[in-house]
Structure 1
Amino acid sequence: MRFDLTDLRLFLNVLEAGTITGGAESTHMTLASASERIRGMEDTLGSPLLLRDRRGVQLTPAGRTLAHHARLVLLQVDRMQGDLGDYGMGLKGHVRVLCNTSALSEHLPEVLSGFLTTHPGISVDLEERTSHEIVDAVRNSLCDIGVVSDAADLEGLEVFPFREDPLSVVVPRDHPLAHRSRVFLVDLVDCAFVGLAEGSALQEHVSHHARRLGKRLHYRLRLRSFESICRMVGLGIGVGIVPQAVAARCSRSARVKRIALADPWAVRNLVLCVRRLDQLPAHAQQMVQHVLGPRPGT
């Protein structure tokens, strides 16, 4: 039985994407090539690895066993590359980071730019996901590092404080709620909203809590940045929910009123999570140390 590293990476990418098409794209491979490789793996094993239907793929018992060992093999390869990287002149390591919307837009770009500047041999794959998707990916070794809200289920992971990240409401300055110092989501559910584009981790987080109230938020406009949300709110299009840091920065330029969001789920902290810090490749450990900054006693 011979599976090469490309086979293993493709298989895990298919598992993560839920479809062979998505796995092929993540592996930078054509669908035909990916399908042929998967069939070749199954023929070599003599047993199906995936159950295929119109909705995607599901693992067979053999597929679950392969996925477990594939993660261990690729993790060990990444660790080896990191440990040996200093002996070469080329790329010394690759780190995959998943983060939520706020971390991606507000907190990680500057700190990662500093890391990449001082570590030219390391590349980073940074992708936005919802916090619950991220912790599942960390548990299953589908990424090295996760940056999530501390409201996520972090049981079994190593967790490190990263940033405070409470949410705020922004409203036009002449809005009926503009005189309030704090509001709850239930006070807003009948308002027109300006939000992030569909698929945003933060927007899904807010919509989830609206659904728990038995409500569906009405979006008049969806945009791709928090700053654009604040500008449109200032022009009277609707109300928005953004990280407090964004609301404070944009309140004057966008002419919006910032109001504290008083729901307990809006009082958030961002944390960095990993399966086991001492089991990460050396280059991923270096990134964790850089992102967290100097720790007490170091």
Structure 2
Amino acid sequence: MRDLDLTTLRLFIAVCELGNIARAGERASIVGSAISKRLAQLESQVGTALLVRKRHGVVPTPAGQTLLEHARAMLDSAARIESDMQAFAGGARGQVRILASVSAMTESLADDIAQFLQAPGHRNIQVDLEERVSPEIVRGVREGLAALGVCWDAAELGTLQSRPYRRDRLCLVVPAGHRLAARKSVRFTDTLDDEHVSLPVNSAVQVMLQRVAAAAGRTLRRRVIVTNFEASLRVVRAGLAISVVPREIAEPRVRADGLKLVTLDEPWAERRFIICYRDAGLLSPAAQLLVDHLAARAESHPSR
């Protein structure tokens, strides 16, 4: 089938919506006979009848109804293409999809992206932010599901390129009456007699904790598995378990919830996050602007 003409499809939609060729012609400032000729050519092109002529107008056939749905989608896509292309003349334009870890999203990434989008030159940029665990972030960026990923630099990046982002520090959160609550610092192995609140087992934090436990010949005892740190803190507050949580997330909550923060005396407790992508040279202008903004925010806030 030859390429469908958008003008003809637009007229076909008008005829279906108005149920009358003459009224569609008035809307489009085209004589009815010209529309009828275009519709006849369209029916010949697709090889089936699209309209049934009634006494007071026309209605689409089943084939016509199917074409109507496709035509609307095609014209919507064409309108978005036109809008996107026009917007480049007025500044950056595009859609950037980011896969990010729960830590990065909760601590700083959402705020940094919000600041980026508030800049007048970025008003035509849309950012699609989705939470994933680190292995899924790396795989998604590698497979082209997202332009950017933000995750712990302990993740296996393979061939992906990266730039530094922010930092945080993992600590232990326990109920106020817990046996470790009075300690200023602990080694992670000191916590292995207790039950833990855990993020999904394939998250970067949990993979690291399981490796540390295994290296000590121990097993990490997980009592509850949650999907985010806020839920983890609620479980600790209920006295059901203890948890390893970024200090940046836990600090605003501990006093109100009657919890205690204990420093983890471990070299891996201070984490560095990265922005990863397949190839810097292939990033869209919008994605490159966002990467530069995030990297600059990290440089201006080195402690986070």
Counterpart contact for 2:171–2:263, Cα < 8 Å: yes
TM-superposed deviation, 1:189: 1.9
Tell me which moved more, 196-205 or 153-162. 196-205
TM-superposed deviation, 1:163: 0.9
Matched ranges for 1:169-208 at <5 A: 169-196=172-199, 200-208=203-211
Partner of 1:160: 163
Unpaired stretches in structure 2, ≥5 consecutive residues: 1-80, 300-304
Change in 2 beyond 3 A, CA 1:117/1:237 = same
- In the alignment, structure 1 residue 252 sits paired with structure 2 residue 255: yes
TM-superposed deviation, 1:217: 2.9
Counterpart contact for 1:82–1:92, Cα < 8 Å: no
Counterpart contact for 1:149–1:268, Cα < 8 Å: yes
TM-score, normalising length: structure 2: 0.60
The residue type paired with residue 111 of structure 1 is D
Matched ranges for 1:272-291 at <5 A: 272-291=275-294
State the distance in 1 between where 2:294 and 2:259 align.
32
State the distance in 1 between where 2:150 and 2:82 align.
24
Partner of 1:110: 111
- Quick one: percent identity of the two aligned structures? 36
Match for residue 273 of structure 2 among 257, 270, 275: 270
State the distance in 1 between where 2:210 and 2:131 align.
17
Counterpart contact for 1:192–1:218, Cα < 8 Å: yes
- In the alignment, structure 1 residue 97 sits paired with structure 2 residue 98: yes
TM-superposed deviation, 1:276: 2.6
Residues 16-56 of structure 1, C-alpha deviations (whole Å, 9 max, x = no match): xxxxxxxxxxxxxxxxxxxxxxxxxxxxxxxxxxxxxxxxx
State the distance in 2 between where 1:215 and 1:109 align.
37
State the distance in 1 between where 2:87 and 2:176 align.
56
Residues 250-281 of structure 1, C-alpha deviations (whole Å, 9 max, x = no match): 22112111111223332211111223323201
Change in 2 beyond 3 A, CA 1:213/1:100 = farther
Match for residue 144 of structure 1 among 138, 143, 147: 147
State the distance in 1 between where 2:123 and 2:97 align.
16
TM-superposed deviation, 1:133: 3.7
Change in 2 beyond 3 A, CA 1:82/1:145 = farther
The residue type paired with residue 278 of structure 2 is R
Larger Rg: 2
Counterpart contact for 1:227–1:250, Cα < 8 Å: no
Change in 2 beyond 3 A, CA 1:166/1:85 = farther
SS of the aligned residue for 2:95 comes to: strand
The residue type paired with residue 138 of structure 1 is V
Unpaired stretches in structure 1, ≥5 consecutive residues: 1-79
State the distance in 1 between where 2:150 and 2:193 align.
32
- In the alignment, structure 1 residue 261 sits paired with structure 2 residue 292: no
Counterpart contact for 1:101–1:201, Cα < 8 Å: no
TM-superposed deviation, 1:167: 0.7
Tell me which moved more, 231-240 or 280-289. 231-240
SS of the aligned residue for 1:175 comes to: coil
Root-mean-square deviation over aligned CA pairs? 3.3
Structure having the larger proportion of residues in helix: 2
TM-superposed deviation, 1:82: 11
TM-superposed deviation, 1:156: 4.4
- In the alignment, structure 1 residue 229 sits paired with structure 2 residue 232: yes
